Amino acid sequence: MPAVSNTQISTFKVAAIQMASGPNVAGNLSEARRLIANAAGQGARLVVLPEFFAIMGMTEQDKIAVREQPGSGPIQTFLSETARQFKVWLVGGSIPLAASTPDKVLNSCLVFDEQGAQVARYDKIHLFNLSLGNESYDEAMTIEPGNQVVVVDSPFGRIGLAVCYDLRFPELFRAMKNVDIIVLPAAFTETTGKMHWEILVRARAIENLAYVIASAQGGYHVNGRETHGNSMIIGPWGRILDRLPRGSGVVMAEINPSYQASLRAGLPALEHRKISC
């Protein structure tokens, strides 16, 4: 699809979906469909699901058991059919795809257009590792990292793809080269999220003069994990347009490309960069 300048289209609505997914894939897909229908019913044209929306297993190995081959499998079929049914561009949070290592997965963010065609795939580059008190995570034990920055041209402008822990690495977003919208599916822990999530999401919006759609897991999960939630949509001036602190639901906002263009013209910080990535 050719690039479309976001200064040439009118305002449009976008949605961030928040969930508290569990180990049952079918149940999670049903909940995701309900929330996507809700967002589409409110006029959203671009909908973003959270990280691992289809599976938050009892163990880290559970996602390996439901991994799919690229282009085939019930989760990918669900994303394609749901995008087509509701006529939305759907960012499928992230799902477990088969990796080159047999006992690992790729944490992959797939984008489908309103016809249900997959138009982009981003494999999460930065893998989370935390050891604080009794809480510890090491994604590298079950996830193989990606190595490609991905931007997709859309009717809404240039969309940059990132997942969760990527948020802490601003050089990734600079490497996207002047995107209009950043989508960020996530499952931030409550420990790190309560201190860093909002600050980092707003910073990525401000420094890139971009809209950020941050869709998070939010609440207590069957496996005992607590995720921070606080899904939000941020404007290019850093203002929070809408947010949901906890639980399943939909965050909605209107994107105004003309407003974004005026900000970039009035404060051309993106043109003032001296150090290239």
Query: How far is Cα 54 from Cα 103, in angstroms, rounded to an integer?
Result: 19
**What residues form DSSP beta bridges with 15?**
47, 252
Please identify which of the residues 31, 63, 109, 124 carries the catalytic annotation. 124
Q: In three state form, how does the secondary structure of 225-253 look?
A: CEEECCEEEECCCCCEEEEECCCCEEEEE
Q: Kindly state the tokens that stand for 35.
A: 């929330």
SS3 of residue 177 by DSSP: coil
Q: Look at the block and give the residue holding tokens 């600050």.
A: 199
Sheet holding 151-154, edge to edge: 151-154, 157-161, 181-186, 211-216, 231-234, 240-244
Please identify which of the residues 104, 109, 164, 190 carries the catalytic annotation. 164
Sequence-distant (≥ 6) Cβ neighbours of residue 72 within 8 angstroms: none
The answer to whether the CB of 128 falls within 8 A of the CB of 164 is: yes
Q: What is the CA radius of gyration of the chain?
A: 17
| N residues, the chain | 277
Query: How far is Cα 148 from Cα 9, in angstroms, rounded to an integer?
Result: 29
Rounded to 5°, angle at Cα 224 from 132 and 17:
100
Sequence-distant (≥ 6) Cβ neighbours of residue 43 within 8 angstroms: 13
How many other C-beta atoms can be found within 10 angstroms of the C-beta atom of residue 77? 14
With residues binned 3-state (H G I as helix, E B as strand, rest as coil), the percentages for the chain, rounded to 5, are 30, 30, 40
The yes-or-no answer on residue 124 being catalytic is yes
Please identify which of the residues 51, 68, 139, 144 carries the catalytic annotation. 51
Name the residues annotated as catalytic: 51, 124, 164
